[in-house]
Amino acid sequence: MSRLPVAAARPAPTTALPAVLQADQLPVHVAVIMDGNGRWARQRGLPRVMGHRQGVEALKRTLRLCSDWGIGALTAYAFSTENWSRPGEEVSFLMTLFEQVLARELEALQKEQVRIRFLGDLAPLPAKLQALITEATERSAVNSGIHFNVCTNYGSRQELVQAARALAAQVQRGELDPEAIDENALAAQLHTAGQPDPDLLIRTSGEQRLSNFLLWQLAYAELHVTDVLWPDFDATALTQALVDFQGRQRRFGGVQEEI
């Protein structure tokens, strides 16, 4: 049985769309691999971490654009399970940056009705960051605006292993018949449970890899790779990605367009 995408509501745009975009053909859920912060900084003779600071600005810009243009969900890859292997100072800088941004932006997120969630293994994160994550998640849970997923200490293979373990434990307890395990049962154990799969994946800075990001959820996503470095990602770059998406014929393994 093929797994059809979960239907999701497409909110109406709140600001005028660029003329080249059509509201009813926009993706419902956009995922981004925000790559190129280090290169952006190096090109300017700056320390790598300055690229991450500008990366935060690009993420805020992208979230606001998606929200204004009626995209229902944005999922961003902020820190992978592999990113711990970066130099200690860069990891510490990123953790502190996440804390500062969350503390600083929480009121704005509330005002803009953003529902924020953090996907990944959050237990190894610093205690202060975990507390801010809990507060932001709880306070924004009933918000009616865009769903914003921040993948933090996220690794897709780890997520799938965790899901397999959870299902195995249910079988062991006699709560689940192995024959009843289907795609929906597995999807229900992922961090993204209950959310529609991304329709569009954008990766910046030219690399053509998935880097252990949403391997299950991106099964039918359209891919858009741009040479733009993440800190430079702006309305023009997002529009290009959305125009590219609009031009794709989505067949989900069939022979004719299904959406």
Catalytic annotation, residues: 35, 83
Q: What is the DSSP code (8-state) at residue 213? A: S
37 binds ligand FPP (CB under 6 A): yes
The Cα–Cα gap between 194 and 211 comes to 23
Closest contact distance (angstroms) between CB of 136 and ligand FPP is: 10
Of 94, 73, 62, 95, residue with least CA distance to 230: 62
The DSSP H or E segment spanning 187 is: helix 183-187
Distances (CA, A) of 250 to 129, 160, 169, 188, 217: 39, 26, 37, 24, 16
Which 3 state secondary structure label does DSSP give 96? helix
117 binds ligand FPP (CB under 6 A): no
Pick one of 38, 72, 196, 198: the residue that binds ligand FPP (CB under 6 A).
Answer: 38
55 binds ligand FPP (CB under 6 A): yes
Closest contact distance (angstroms) between CB of 35 and ligand FPP is: 5
Of 74, 9, 36, 98, residue with least CA distance to 238: 74
Which two three-digit tokens encode residue 4? 């059809």
> For residues 209-238, which are near ligand FPP according to CB under 6 A?
none
61 binds ligand FPP (CB under 6 A): no
Listed in sequence order, the residues at least 6 apart from 247 whose beta carbon sits closer than 8 Å to its beta carbon are none
Determine contact, residues 17/82, Cβ cutoff 8 Å: no
59 binds ligand FPP (CB under 6 A): yes
Closer CB to ligand FPP, residue 21 or residue 50? 50
Instruction: Give the contact letters, 123-162, x = binds to ligand FPP (CB under 6 A), - = no.
Output: ---------------------------x------------
Length of the chain (residues): 259
Pick one of 35, 159, 199, 222: the residue that binds ligand FPP (CB under 6 A).
Answer: 35
Amino acid at 58: A
The DSSP H or E segment spanning 31 is: strand 29-33
56 binds ligand FPP (CB under 6 A): yes
195 binds ligand FPP (CB under 6 A): no
Closer CB to ligand FPP, residue 75 or residue 205? 205
The Cα–Cα gap between 5 and 216 comes to 12
Q: Residues binding ligand FPP: what is the number (CB under 6 A)? A: 16
98 binds ligand FPP (CB under 6 A): yes
Q: Interface residues with ligand FPP (CB under 6 A)?
A: 34-39, 52, 55-56, 59, 78, 83, 98, 101, 150, 205
